[in-house]
Structure 1
Amino acid sequence: MTAFFLGGAAGSALTAAARIRGGRAGVSALGSALALTTFAVWVAERASAARTA
């Protein structure tokens, strides 16, 4: 539960900062960057699991 709370708080803070600095485009860019980062981590984990299996 703590991790969910901290993740939500961090996401809210990042979104607020992106909104102040870049407006709607900044928030969209942040969302895209987070989605791409998550996808890259997922791909790396799958590649690692495939090598060890």
Structure 2
Amino acid sequence: MGKYKPPAERKYGRGVQVCRRCGSRDSVIQKYGLYLCRQCFREVAYEMGFKKTR
């Protein structure tokens, strides 16, 4: 077995953006400092005061 090197710590880019609620790294909404993935945002948006226009 070879030497094990842990993955590099991310400092910028998509790997840094993490959903605060579930920890997902894909499709994170950063606007207004939300840092929620789109699935979590849809569940919580109405409680936060966002309303659908259509």
Q: Which range, TM-score by smaller chain?
A: under 0.3
Q: Which structure shows the higher helix fraction?
A: 1
- Compute the TM-score of the two structures, normalised by the length of structure 2: 0.23
Relative to total residues, which structure has the larger strand share, 1 or 2? Answer: 2
TM-score by length of 1: 0.23
